[in-house]
């Protein structure tokens, strides 16, 4: 049955047929605990009843009109997002990569306005920004670029979390338009930079008149303990991108701007047929309401701390473990040796986890996970790591 699907993913041969909260059921009726949330997407858990009702109600009212007309739910969603982030304007897309494409186009316009020729956007080694041609070029991982030449120009990669390297590069180049960075690198294995890293980036961008563009597609939506991860640094980027958990599974991305990044995308300069349609916006509006009402960012902070305390205790004598780190519910256990087989071993134990960067067990549980479910995750994962 899978033979007509392009093999772009090394998928496990499990077909899930329904979900509820932190749980998924396969076609045989087996029940799995989900510590990955569809890669940080279902932050409110599966089939959240209020989100389901919002989607259903919107589907029975109006699904799509195009952006040739005002869309009320889109206006409400933009207001709410700007409220939560103190940003000014929003462009709605359908995915993370598309939100980053908008950010890249904004950086190019910013450069054009300043009269920079051949402008460059600085991104970091180990970053992930998406799979379109521009965003995979922005991505700091050579593997995902293989065989896709010619790639767009105008990107360069520097070591992450290395301010001296950045300063040295800035000294030698007069065509830098923007810095695009993840507050915490997700796909390469939850790489958490120095606590003042984003503040330093903000300072450098102010000093040199670059755009600071934060890819909060994975770190945003409360996952790290605040609505945006960058809010823990008390800084505001010029451009912020969101996607993943924004629609709790309904595809939607957003590119937010403020300050000197505002007003650069003008009528006719960008667009999306589906972007910000009533269905996606109704889902996202409901997600934001529940996130705020149930204080799920605080919950992410608390539960993340509890889970990591438990892991540190359970794995204190395990010599395979190099590091256990987290911000909120973005959690990694880094091992000395490759451990990709832990994914299928966990699935046999009816637990869904991920391994990133070859040797980091990555957990991205729903923000709604209960303490008891979290204990189960810690037990199963610790035992697998000890036996590894």
Ligand X SMILES: *Cc1c(COP(=O)(O)O)cnc(C)c1O
* Positions that interact with ligand X (CB under 6 A): 95-97, 100, 128-130, 182, 186-187, 215, 217-218, 243-244
**Helix 72-85 and helix 278-293: axis angle, to 10°?**
40
Tell me how far apart the alpha carbons of residues 113 and 376 are, in angstroms, rounded to a whole number.
54
For residue 34, the minimal CB distance to ligand X (Å) is: 17
For residue 224, the minimal CB distance to ligand X (Å) is: 12
Q: What is the length of the chain?
A: 388
The residue among 100 and 230 lying less far from ligand X, judged by its C-beta, is: 100
Q: Which residue is nearest to ligand X (CB)?
A: 96
For residue 130, the minimal CB distance to ligand X (Å) is: 4
Going by C-alpha positions, the residue among 216, 199, 219 that lies closest to residue 304 is: 219
The residue among 139 and 233 lying less far from ligand X, judged by its C-beta, is: 139
Tell me how far apart the alpha carbons of residues 219 and 228 are, in angstroms, rounded to a whole number.
7
For residue 39, the minimal CB distance to ligand X (Å) is: 7
Going by C-alpha positions, the residue among 130, 281, 293, 306 that lies closest to residue 222 is: 293
**Helix 296-314 and helix 371-387: axis angle, to 10°?**
30
Tokens 């991108």 sit on residue: 241
Q: What secondary structure does DSSP assign to 188-255, as a single string?
A: TT-B---TTHHHHHHHHHHHHTPEEEEE-TTTTTTTTSSSSGGGGGT---SEEEE-GGGGTTS--EEE
For residue 132, the minimal CB distance to ligand X (Å) is: 8
The residue among 9 and 70 lying less far from ligand X, judged by its C-beta, is: 9
Enzyme catalytic residues: 128, 215, 244
């Amino acid at each position: 049955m899978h033979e007509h699907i392009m093999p772009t993913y090394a998928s496990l041969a499990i077909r899930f047929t329904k979900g509820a909260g932190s749980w998924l059921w396969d076609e045989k009726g087996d029940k799995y605990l989900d510590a990955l949330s569809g890669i940080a997407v279902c932050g409110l858990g599966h089939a959240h009843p209020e989100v389901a009702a919002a989607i259903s109600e919107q589907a029975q009212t109006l699904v799509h009109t195009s952006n040739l007309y005002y869309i009320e739910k889109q206006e409400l969603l933009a207001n709410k997002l700007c409220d939560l982030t103190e940003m000014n304007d929003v462009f709605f897309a359908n995915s993370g990569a598309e939100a980053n494409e908008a950010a890249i186009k904004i950086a190019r316009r910013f450069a054009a306005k300043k009269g920079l020729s051949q402008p460059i956007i600085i991104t970091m080694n180990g970053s992930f920004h998406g799979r379109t041609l521009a965003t995979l070029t922005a991505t700091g991982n050579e593997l995902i670029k293989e065989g896709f030449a010619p790639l767009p120009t105008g990107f360069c990669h520097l070591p992450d979390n290395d301010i001296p390297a950045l300063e040295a590069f800035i000294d030698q180049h007069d065509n830098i338009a923007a810095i695009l960075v993840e507050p915490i690198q997700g796909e390469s294995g939850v790489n958490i930079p120095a606590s003042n890293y984003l503040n330093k980036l903000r300072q450098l961008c102010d000093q040199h008149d670059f755009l600071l563009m934060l890819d909060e597609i994975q770190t945003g939506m409360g996952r790290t303990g605040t609505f945006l991860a960058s809010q823990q640094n008390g800084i505001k980027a010029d451009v912020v991108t969101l996607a993943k958990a924004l629609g709790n599974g309904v595809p939607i991305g957003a590119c937010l701007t403020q300050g000197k990044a505002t007003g650069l995308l003008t009528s006719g300069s960008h667009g999306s047929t589906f972007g910000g349609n009533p269905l996606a916006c109704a889902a996202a509006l409901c997600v934001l309401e529940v996130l705020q009402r149930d204080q799920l960012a605080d919950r992410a902070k608390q539960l993340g701390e509890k889970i990591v305390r438990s892991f540190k205790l359970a794995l204190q004598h395990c010599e395979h473990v190099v590091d256990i780190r987290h911000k909120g519910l973005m959690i990694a256990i880094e091992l000395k040796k490759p451990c990709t087989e832990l994914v299928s071993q966990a699935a046999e134990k009816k637990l869904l986890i991920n391994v990133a960067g070859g040797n980091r067990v990555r957990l991205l549980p729903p923000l709604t996970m209960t303490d008891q479910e979290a204990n189960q995750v810690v037990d199963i994962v610790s035992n697998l790591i000890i036996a590894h």
